[in-house]
């Protein structure tokens, strides 16, 4: 291993020899002195080199002078983006704006040169930036997103593991379309015919309840073949899923999810709060538990009475503007970034959401975060007769859901769960305008690369 | 939430009222007394009920007698596998073989009934068991595998996060085939033509090095379309991947991987060592670091001189028997379950493995665990001219690897990494005969369900 010091760790070191490595962010090639800003995954550092532009005829140490000239020429020739390793002398100096320190270059080795012309700049269009996403990700703000993601996921998994959940990996290749065929990618699968890419792990995480696993979680890719071009949809995205047995109502799922989110955001604030304030201008809010809950019917009334907004949909569901408005209402009224909207009518929920026998409403919810839905959750219908009745009520052919029903036949406890889009959570946490910014390598109907 | 007590926690409770929930494993319906073995995800418990077979004409409390009769009849009618909730009286009794305690049933509620005939038994064929995998997973031994998996992955991620790695989620839908087309599933992707399912995240985890991420990891599904029917191959499996920058040689990758494995196995032994001994008859070995390393050429010599085995392959690679033999040799000689076999010749390695300019051998390795390969790792060739030369040497068309080469053009540091099959590690840790046993829901050329 190159025994380099991460740039963020330099400030704690005394003046003296160090080795650093990273890529060239800027070069200021002045006549008498050269400055390079070197960046690594932890920060940026000023390198300085007194320029040697020619070798005096009467020089005492000709070899040293030739070496100094070569170093100057190497620095003059550095393309931005080139990866280099530098050994030199660290010096703390309060006058240096960049962190109050600099490294005087001793030796400089080019580890991976860049072409001279960078294909994108910080102000390139989003689409152009995504064409060269690996360069776009060198921007400190963009790189930070994925360190935040790392912290968030690890905090979630730690919460789950600490609460007795089992991590599962469910197949992404499925024999039968679980729901709407329109949303499914298809492929030829050996001699078995067509396979479908999973649009959600739900089928399998319910199966894990029939297996008696009790509580499970999974963070994994899912695939949607319907062409969506909004800032919050992707063809392939990471779904954060959990499913638990022995629930009395969807309230048990909600309770689990709000604790999970609070634990995750607390970890993000503790580890990255300062950087997020600096680079995104945002103060991370750790939400109070319990989050507000409002039945959908009441949401519609509040939107009318408190916000003067009537949702222009006939099916009774919320539209994006309705989500923004109820979120704004909750923020004003309760100071909360999250709101659970509950008790959706059956006509806008899938057949496998359990229905309340008295109201006919489903025992389901959406979770809205800073104005946008990030989750659908529900108690599932685990009674096979009711499942069939619900499916029939929706006009579904029971034969089409046969594989799904199979694992309900040999015993399954009451259960429920949720799915949550990882990139959406990050987008809304950081105030970004699109999940394209919070997805490592976005996939959409017009983008399959890089 | 049903306020149930997990069965494993009962032994710490005093005699008195408890609620438990799980599925019916056995029913012994004797004339005067009924016994039910109830299992949940944590253990098994004996329920007992004094049978009431008829209501005496002169009974004092007719309602209580009717209730007792109904309970007896419910228990008599329980199908195995049915999920039930039971409230009753816990009693510690050393004469009870199953954990030294039993619960006398007060009320019993059927939460999810099973059909009367179980479609599989413990001695069903593997293929039959996999047809009803959700029932097969109720076997304590099978369920334990996935709690071990949870612990192992969490220990790995904790190690990575503690060592400054970034968790990435790379796309599984790719525009171009990265290597051999024969191994790739294809699908129609909107108007963009054909997409391929990733057979490895390698392309993208290298891209993250060009992005300056430094150290990354990912645990994610990958897909192989070549028909393999061995006990250690699957069409879809979970790949455990890491990639790090600024390495001097593959030795840096090896060093990271052996620390990771030792940390994971230590966590498994600490949390599940007793259960593994009981259910698998295996003592978990936490490997000493460093693991033995042997160059491939020396492995061939040792196989001949020490084991009398000549590998019957012309290309110089090891065969499965060679892996078993060298593993046995290392176990005998060093008492170690792992061995890194290093320095593979270029003809049996892909073009992107860095070659040693003096020997021509690649800077790559395989890791063998208890007789079977679980990993290929390498320092990657990050210099674009050498990459092209290697590709040409292999007879590859440079146009076919154009997208792969793109992100080498704008600077990339020296780097390397490994990929490791999760189900193989579990199979070899637990002495199982096939990854079908250590995969939640196996996918192979003849299996796409459940």
How does pLDDT run across B284-306, given as a tens digit for each residue? 999 999 999 999 999 999 999 99
CATH 2.40.50.140 domain locations along chain A: 7-112
Regions of chain A with pLDDT less than 50: none
Which regions of chain B carry the CATH code 3.30.930.10? 131-430
Which residues in chain A are contacts of B211 at CB distance < 8 A? 133-135, 137-138, 143
Look at residues A80, A72, A137 and name the one whose alpha carbon lies nearest to residue A114: A80
Residue B2: other Cβ atoms inside 10 A: 16
Contact between residue A54 and residue A38 where contact means Cβ atoms under 8 Å apart: no
Nearest CA to CA, how far is B27 from chain A (Å)?
A: 15
Three-state DSSP state, A251:
helix
A83 alpha carbon, distance to own chain's centre: 27
Sign of the CA dihedral running A241, A245, A250, A255: negative
Give the tens place of pLDDT for each residue, A70-91.
999 999 999 999 999 999 999 9
Cross-chain Cβ contact B111/A153 below 8 Å: no
Measured in whole angstroms, the distance separating CA B210 from the mean position of its chain's CA atoms is: 30
Answer yes or no: do B412 and A112 touch at CB < 8 A. yes
Contacts of A27 in chain B (CB under 8 A): none
Are A113 and B411 an interchain contact pair (Cβ–Cβ within 8 Å)? yes
Contacts of B425 in chain A (CB under 8 A): none
A contacts of B382 (beta carbons < 8 Å): 112
- Residues in B touching A173 (Cβ below 8 Å): 223, 235-236, 443, 448
Residue B182 has pLDDT above 80, yes or no: no
- The answer to whether residue B181 scores a pLDDT higher than 70 is no
Binding residues of B for L-aspartate: 179, 224, 376, 380
Instruction: Describe the strand order of the beta sheet including A364-369 as a list of residue ranges.
Output: A166-167, A215-223, A236-245, A415-421, A372-379, A364-369, A338-342, A293-295
Q: Which residue of A has its CA nearest to B149?
A: A167
Is A199 in contact with A222 (CB distance < 8 Å)? yes
Question: For the CA atoms of chain A, what is the radius of gyration?
Answer: 28
What are residue A40's DSSP bridge partners? A43
pLDDT at A178: 61
pLDDT tens profile B376-401: 999 999 999 999 999 999 998 888 78
Task: Tell me the C-alpha distance between B397 and B409, whole Å.
Answer: 18
- Residue B10 CB-density burial (10 A; 0-12 exposed, 13-18 middle, 19+ buried): buried
Please give the pLDDT value at position B179.
60
- Rounded to a whole number, what is the distance in Å from the CA of A194 to chain B's nearest CA? 10
Which option is the CATH number for A7-112: 2.60.40.2550, 2.40.50.140, 1.10.1740.110, 2.40.128.20?
2.40.50.140
Nearest residue on chain A to B110, judged by CA atoms? A413
Structure tokens at B288: 């000493």
What percent of the residues of chain B are helix, what percent strand, and what percent coil, each to the nearest 5? Answer: 35, 25, 40
Structure-block tokens of residue B42: 């944590």
Half-sphere exposure for B329 (CA within 13 Å, toward CB): 25
- B157:A157 CB<8 A: yes
Task: Look at chain B and count its residues.
Answer: 450
Across the interface, do A236 and B171 touch by the CB < 8 Å criterion?
yes
Note the pLDDT of residue B7. Answer: 98
List all residues 6 or more positions away from A30 whose beta carbon is below 8 Å from its beta carbon. A51
pLDDT the model gives residue A351? 94
Nearest chain B alpha carbon to A207: B134
Count CB neighbours of B266 within 10 A: 15
Please give, rounded to a whole number of angstroms, the shortest distance from the CA of B119 to a CA of chain A. Answer: 9
On whether the CB atoms of residues B306 and B325 are closer than 8 A, the answer is no
**Nearby residues of B397 by Cβ (< 8 Å), 6 or more positions away:** none
Q: Could you tell me whether strands A215-223 and A166-167 are parallel, antiparallel, or unpaired per DSSP bridges?
A: parallel
Which pLDDT value is given to residue B400?
79
- Comparing alpha-carbon positions, the chain B residue that sits nearest to A139 is B211
Tokens at residue B209, please?
């090095």
Q: Is A135's CB within 8 Å of B211's CB?
A: yes
Six token digits for residue A310? 């009537």
- Taking the CA of residue B55 and the nearest CA in chain A, the distance in Å comes to 31
Decide if the complex's ipTM is over 0.95. yes
Instruction: Tell me the mean pLDDT in the region B255-275.
Output: 98
pLDDT of B47 higher than 80: yes
Residues B326 and B318: beta-carbon distance below 8 Å? yes
Measured between CA atoms, the residue of chain A closest to residue B407 is A134
CA-based nearest residue to B244, from B104, B13, B416: B416
Please state the residue numbers annotated as binding site of A for ATP.
373, 421-424
Q: Would you call A413 and B111 a contact, using CB atoms and an 8 Å cutoff?
A: yes
Nearest to B150 among A167, A223, A409 (CB): A167
- Give the other-Cβ count within 10 Å of B95's Cβ: 6
Per-residue pLDDT for B335 more than 80? yes
B19 to chain A, minimum CA–CA distance in Å? 12
Contact A41 B212 (CB under 8 A): yes
Please say whether the beta carbons of B309 and B322 come within 8 A.
Answer: yes
Question: Residue A228's closest chain B neighbor by CA?
Answer: B190
What's the rounded Cα separation, in Å, for the pair A184 and B404? Answer: 28
Alpha-carbon dihedral A4, A10, A15, A18, rounded to 10 degrees: 10
B-chain CB neighbours of A113 within 8 Å are 411
In whole angstroms, give the CA distance from residue A116 to residue B409.
10
Minimum mean pLDDT range among A319-328, B179-188, B227-236: B179-188
Which pLDDT band, with edges at 50, 70 and 90, does B180 fall under? low
How does pLDDT run across B117-150, given as a tens digit for each residue? 999 998 999 999 999 999 999 999 999 999 999 9
Please list, in sequence order, all residues whose beta carbon lies within 8 angstroms of the beta carbon of residue A127, skipping any fewer than 6 positions away: none
CB B354 within 8 A of CB B381: yes
- The shortest C-alpha distance from B48 to chain A (Å) reads 21
* Closest CA in chain B for residue A214: B41
Q: Do B114 and A169 touch (CB under 8 A)?
A: no
Does residue B2 have a pLDDT over 80? no
Residue B59 pLDDT = 87
Is the Cβ pair B236, A171 closer than 8 Å?
yes
pLDDT range class, residue B324, cuts 50, 70, 90: very high
Provide, as residue numbers in chain B, all residues whose Cβ is less than 8 Å from the Cβ of A450.
Answer: 175, 207, 403, 406-407
CB nearest to A210's CB, from B134, B189, B208: B134
Task: With CB atoms and an 8 Å threshold, state whether A150 touches B165.
Answer: yes
**Pick among A195, A254, A440 to test the B interface (most B CBs inside 10 A):** A440
Of A1, A449, A90, A19, nearest to B214 by C-alpha is: A1
Q: How far is A78 from chain B (nearest CA, A)?
A: 11
User: How many residues does the structure list for chain A?
Assistant: 450
Query: Min CA distance, B306 vs chain A (Å)?
Result: 34
Q: Kindly provide the residue ranges of all beta strands, DSSP E only, lying in A283-355, ordered along the sequence.
A: 293-295, 338-342
Residue with tokens 């320190």: A101
Q: Which pLDDT score is estimated for B399?
A: 81
Which of A173, A195, A411 is nearest residue B83 as measured by Cβ atoms? A411
Residue numbering of the annotated binding site of A for L-aspartate: 179, 224, 376, 380
User: On the CB side of B111, how many CA atoms lie within 13 Å of its CA?
Assistant: 23
Q: Could you give the CA distance from residue A196 to residue A404 in angstroms, rounded to a whole number? A: 14
Q: How many CB pairs under 8 A join A and B?
A: 289
Closest chain B residue to the Cα of A21, Cα to Cα: B246
Of B1, B22, B440, Cβ closest to residue A248:
B1
Nearest chain B residue to A405, by CA: B450
Instruction: Residue B252: count other Cβ atoms within 10 Å of its Cβ.
Output: 19
Among the partner residues B6, B112, B235, nearest to A412 by beta-carbon distance: B112
Q: Is the dihedral of CA A431, A433, A439, A440 positive or negative?
A: negative
- Residue B43, Ramachandran bin (φ over 0: left; ψ between -120 and 50: alpha; else beta): left
- Residue A425 CA to residue A420 CA, distance in Å, equals 8
- Measured between CA atoms, how close is B51 to chain A, in angstroms? 24
Query: Which residue, chain included where needed, has tokens 């999974």?
Result: A218
May I ask the CATH class of domain A131-430?
alpha beta
Quick one: tokens of B388? 């092209």
Q: Write the residue in B187, B255, B411 that is nearest to A114 by C-beta.
A: B411
What is the least distance, in Å, from the CA of A293 to any CA of chain B?
18
Contact B215, B163 (CB under 8 A): yes
Query: Are B376 and B170 contacting, i.e. CB atoms less than 8 angstroms apart?
Result: no
| B214 → closest Cβ in A40, A165, A248 | A40
- Give the rounded percent of residues in chain B with a pLDDT score beyond 70: 99
Choosing among B212, B386, B441, which should be mutated to test the A contact, i.e. which has the most A CBs within 10 A?
B212
Percent of chain B with pLDDT over 90: 93
């Amino acid at each position: 291993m190159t025994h380099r010091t991460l740039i963020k760790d330099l400030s704690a070191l005394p003046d003296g020899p160090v080795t650093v490595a990273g890529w060239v962010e800027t070069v200021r090639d002045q006549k008498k002195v050269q400055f390079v800003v070197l960046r690594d995954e932890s920060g940026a550092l000023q390198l300085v080199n007194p320029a040697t532009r020619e070798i005096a005829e009467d020089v005492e140490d000709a070899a040293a002078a030739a070496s100094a000239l070569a170093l100057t020429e190497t620095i003059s020739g550095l393309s931005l983006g080139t990866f280099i390793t530098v050994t030199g002398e660290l010096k703390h100096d309060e006058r240096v704006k960049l962190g109050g320190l600099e490294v005087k270059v001793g030796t400089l080795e080019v580890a991976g040169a860049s072409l001279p012309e960078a294909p994108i700049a910080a102000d390139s269009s989003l689409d152009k930036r995504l064409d060269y996403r690996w360069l776009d990700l060198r921007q400190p703000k963009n790189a930070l997103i994925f360190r935040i993601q790392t912290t968030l996921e690890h905090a979630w998994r730690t919460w789950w593991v600490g609460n007795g959940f089992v991590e599962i990996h469910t197949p992404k290749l499925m024999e039968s379309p679980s729901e709407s065929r329109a949303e499914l990618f298809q492929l030829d699968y050996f001699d078995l015919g067509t396979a479908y890419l999973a649009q959600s792990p739900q089928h399998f995480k319910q199966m894990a309840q029939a297996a008696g696993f009790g509580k499970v979680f999974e963070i994994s890719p899912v695939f949607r073949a319907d062409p969506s071009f909004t800032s919050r949809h992707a063809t392939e995205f990471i779904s954060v899923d959990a499913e638990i047995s022995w629930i009395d109502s969807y309230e048990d799922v909600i309770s689990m999810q709000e604790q999970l989110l609070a634990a995750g955001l607390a970890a993000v604030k503790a580890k990255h709060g300062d950087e997020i304030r600096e680079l995104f201008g945002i103060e991370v809010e750790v939400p109070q538990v319990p989050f507000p809950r409002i039945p959908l019917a009441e949401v519609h009334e509040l939107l009318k009475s408190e916000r003067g907004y009537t949702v222009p949909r006939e099916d009774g569901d919320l539209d994006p503007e309705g989500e923004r408005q109820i979120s704004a209402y909750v923020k004003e009224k309760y100071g909360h970034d999250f709101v659970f909207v509950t008790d959706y009518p059956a006509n806008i929920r899938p057949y496998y959401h359990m229905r309340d026998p008295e109201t006919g409403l489903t025992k389901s919810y959406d979770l809205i975060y800073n104005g946008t839905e990030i989750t659908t959750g529900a108690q599932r219908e685990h009674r096979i007769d009711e499942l069939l009745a619900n499916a029939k009520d929706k006009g579904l052919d029971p034969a089409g859901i046969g594989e799904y029903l199979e694992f309900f036949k040999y015993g399954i406890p009451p259960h429920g769960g949720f799915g949550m889009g990882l990139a959406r959570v990050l987008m809304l946490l950081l105030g970004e305008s699109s999940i394209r910014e919070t997805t490592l390598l976005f996939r959409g109907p017009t983008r399959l690369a890089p």
